[in-house]
Amino acid sequence: MPSKQAINQTIYLDECIKKRLVPFIKEKHRRCRYVFWPDLASSHYANSVQNWLYENKIRFVPKYLNPANVPEVRPIEDFFAYLKRKVYRNGWCAKNVKQLEKRIIATLSTIDHKVVQKLMANTSKRLDRVRRFGFA
């Protein structure tokens, strides 16, 4: 979305969930071996969005199980750090946004799905440590 434009529940549902997430799930996760983990933006947990996800059998982390402001237990943060290292390896630097976009897309196509699975594997252990000790 353009900078400084809020994403409301309708835009989020139409542009992010229906247009991008569902086709991705259908293409990459036909056997239902996924869990969608939204961040805590209000549009992500709007009633209309949650109802649509339930009705369409999209498995997702409910808000009450989604820890607030604890990036160290969110596997997506590990994935973004991993992706960033790969994108900028060997001192690469983008000259413009389009070049960066192309580099990210090319890099994503080289990532082995097993790496992503490993990033997810310890999530429940990390969450348990946070619940018991207050840190990951």
Q: Please give the chain's pLDDT, 136 residues, in tens.
A: 555 567 899 999 999 999 999 999 888 887 777 888 888 888 999 999 999 999 999 999 888 888 776 767 777 788 888 999 999 999 999 999 999 999 999 999 999 888 888 877 777 777 777 777 766 5
Structural domain of residue 40, as residue ranges? 1-66
pLDDT at 55: 96
pLDDT of residue 134: 65
56 and 72 both lie in a single domain? no
pTM above threshold 0.75? no
60 strand-pairing partners: 36
Do 84 and 127 lie in a common domain? yes
In sequence order, the 6+-apart residues with CB closer than 8 A to the CB of 111 are 82, 83, 86
Backbone Cα Rg of the chain: 17
Residues 72 and 53 in one domain: no
Backbone angles phi, psi at 99, to 5 degrees: -65, -40
- What is the predicted pLDDT for the residue at 95? 92
Q: Total domain count for the chain?
A: 2
Q: Same domain for 58 and 89?
A: no
Angstrom distance (rounded) from CA 70 to CA 129? 12
